[in-house]
């Protein structure tokens, strides 16, 4: 057993299908909140009102934007301050949770997160803001939600394609946690179980979008993936995707889903213990085969070009990504390596071309 230092983040987690409204009422009462702000996108407003039916809401906020532009964050912060809010409730995906975190970062207001995707942001103390086409991320204890309320029923309306992309975003949290700067055996154990749960749940969703079992497995896996990621830190995959998302406004989940096999192929042979754990979680002989077989079953996002990235963007992206690559990455990364990785991901090439055996 290696020497390591591990920190576990303290949160209350309530998991129950069909119980979101009741659990939210219990938590608002437990926290003694009197002036609640609910954050939900306009698209999910009806669902959010059903979840919040048993609490008194002082302020509804629907101005949710992907990658949390600083302008959207400032608008929400001002609204919370103006109304004397004492509790934030975010109901939705990663962008919604991200906006609540942006408010909490400057106000230290507690958050109750009710996720409706498999983004995992609700279980991390990581924040992200975009300003002038540059996405900045950081870690701050004040942005960690006090409570997470998981309810698989809230994800039943999430389309299969988005469910797959969101779940593979969770998978990316797991795989990156295997070699991130603070990777340790506890993170690896959580990530391994997260991969197993996601690889079982996502095919059930793809086969039957109304599969409660599949949705519950995916939520469970997404939570584990985020807990591992919050402790291990951000690795090569996330550093790459944060630049791509913030600079080119690419969709968050699809970008992660498309880039993941290329990072796994690039790093896998240089992290044999991690690769063995990943393979075991998939139940396959090697890690990349397991991921690619799953992606094929799910008809997962394949090429960044499908989401607006172009070859012209590679030369700009590489010098933005390279300084952010952790020194602990198991394989040294050069500008040439990143260029080849992005070219392959742009065109949806076979990731095996990046293998270094």
Give the tens place of pLDDT for each residue, 194-237.
Answer: 999 999 999 999 999 999 999 999 999 999 999 999 999 999 99
Residue 260 is predicted with a pLDDT of: 98
User: What CATH number corresponds to the domain at position 253?
Assistant: 1.20.1090.10
Q: Tell me how far apart the alpha carbons of residues 35 and 57 are, in angstroms, rounded to a whole number.
A: 7
CA count, 13 A, side-chain hemisphere, 154: 30
Residue 356 is predicted with a pLDDT of: 73
Among 226, 200, 227, 201, smallest CA distance to 216 is for 201
Q: What is the helix (H) or strand (E) element at residue 138, kind and residue range? A: strand 134-139
Tell me: do 112 and 227 sit in the same domain.
no
Tell me: do 302 and 327 sit in the same domain.
yes
Tell me: do 218 and 103 sit in the same domain.
no
User: What CATH number corresponds to the domain at position 20?
Assistant: 3.40.50.1970
Tell me: do 229 and 276 sit in the same domain.
yes
Tell me: do 37 and 51 sit in the same domain.
yes
Question: Per mean pLDDT, which range of 13-22, 131-140, 255-264 is the poorest?
Answer: 131-140
Tell me: do 233 and 113 sit in the same domain.
no
Mean model confidence pLDDT for the chain: 96
Tell me: do 200 and 134 sit in the same domain.
no
What is the total count of domains within the chain? 2
Tell me: do 122 and 172 sit in the same domain.
no
Q: Tell me how far apart the alpha carbons of residues 320 and 216 are, in angstroms, rounded to a whole number.
A: 37
The predicted-structure confidence for 43-74, as pLDDT tens digits, reads as follows 999 999 999 999 999 999 999 998 899 999 99
CA-based radius of gyration for the chain: 19
Residue 135 is predicted with a pLDDT of: 85
Q: Is residue 5 part of a domain?
A: no
Structure token digits, residue 18: 């069909």
Residue 171 is predicted with a pLDDT of: 97
Q: Tell me how far apart the alpha carbons of residues 351 and 348 are, in angstroms, rounded to a whole number.
A: 8
Q: Tell me how far apart the alpha carbons of residues 78 and 96 are, in angstroms, rounded to a whole number.
A: 16
Place of tokens 């279980």: 123
Q: Tell me how far apart the alpha carbons of residues 49 and 18 are, in angstroms, rounded to a whole number.
A: 15
Is residue 281 within 8 A of residue 288, CB to CB? The reply is no
Q: In the chain, how many H helices and how many E strands?
A: 13, 8
Among 294, 305, 335, 293, smallest CA distance to 318 is for 335
Q: Is residue 7 part of a domain?
A: no
Tell me: do 331 and 196 sit in the same domain.
yes
Tell me: do 47 and 64 sit in the same domain.
yes
| Residues in Cβ contact with 296 at an 8 Å cutoff, skipping those fewer than 6 apart | none
Q: Which domain holds residue 60?
A: 12-155
In angstroms, how far is CA 75 from the centroid of its own chain?
Answer: 24
* Three-state DSSP class for residue 228: helix
Place of tokens 């960690």: 144
The predicted-structure confidence for 280-325, as pLDDT tens digits, reads as follows 999 999 999 999 999 999 999 999 999 999 999 999 999 999 999 9
Q: What is the helix (H) or strand (E) element at residue 150, kind and residue range? A: strand 147-150
């Amino acid at each position: 057993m290696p020497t390591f230092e591990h920190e576990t983040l303290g949160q209350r987690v309530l998991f129950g299908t069909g119980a979101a409204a009741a659990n939210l009422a219990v938590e608002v009462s437990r926290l003694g909140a009197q002036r609640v702000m609910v954050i939900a996108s306009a698209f999910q407003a009806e669902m959010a009102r059903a979840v919040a039916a048993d609490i008194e809401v002082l302020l509804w906020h629907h101005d949710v934007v992907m990658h949390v532009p600083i302008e959207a964050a400032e608008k929400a912060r001002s609204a919370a301050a103006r109304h004397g809010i004492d509790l934030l409730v975010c109901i939705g995906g990663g962008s919604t949770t991200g906006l609540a975190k942006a408010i909490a970062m400057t106000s230290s207001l507690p958050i109750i997160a009710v996720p409706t995707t498999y983004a995992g942001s609700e279980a991390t103390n990581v924040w992200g803001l975009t300003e002038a086409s540059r996405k900045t991320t950081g870690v701050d204890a004040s942005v960690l939600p006090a409570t997470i309320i998981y309810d698989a029923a809230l994800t039943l309306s999430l389309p299969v394609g988005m469910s797959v992309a969101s779940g593979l975003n969770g998978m990316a949290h797991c795989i990156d946690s295997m070699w991130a700067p603070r990777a340790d055996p506890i993170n690896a154990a959580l990530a391994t179980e997260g991969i197993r749960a996601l690889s079982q749940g996502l095919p059930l969703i793809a086969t039957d979008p109304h599969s409660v079992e599949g949705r519950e497995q995916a939520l469970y896996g997404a939570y584990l993936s985020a807990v591992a990621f919050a402790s291990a830190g951000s690795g090569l995959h996330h550093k790459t995707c944060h630049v791509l998302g913030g600079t080119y406004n690419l969709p968050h989940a699809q970008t992660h889903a498309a880039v993941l096999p290329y990072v796994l192929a690039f790093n896998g042979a240089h992290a044999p213990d991690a690769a063995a754990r990943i393979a075991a979680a998939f139940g396959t002989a090697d890690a990349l085969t397991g991921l690619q077989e799953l992606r094929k079953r799910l008809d997962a996002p394949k090429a960044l070009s499908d989401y607006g990235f172009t070859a012209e963007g590679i030369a700009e992206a590489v010098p933005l990504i390279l300084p952010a690559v952790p020194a602990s990455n198991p394989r040294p990364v050069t500008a040439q390596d990143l260029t080849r990785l992005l070219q392959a991901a742009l065109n949806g090439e076979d990731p095996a071309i990046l293998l270094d055996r």
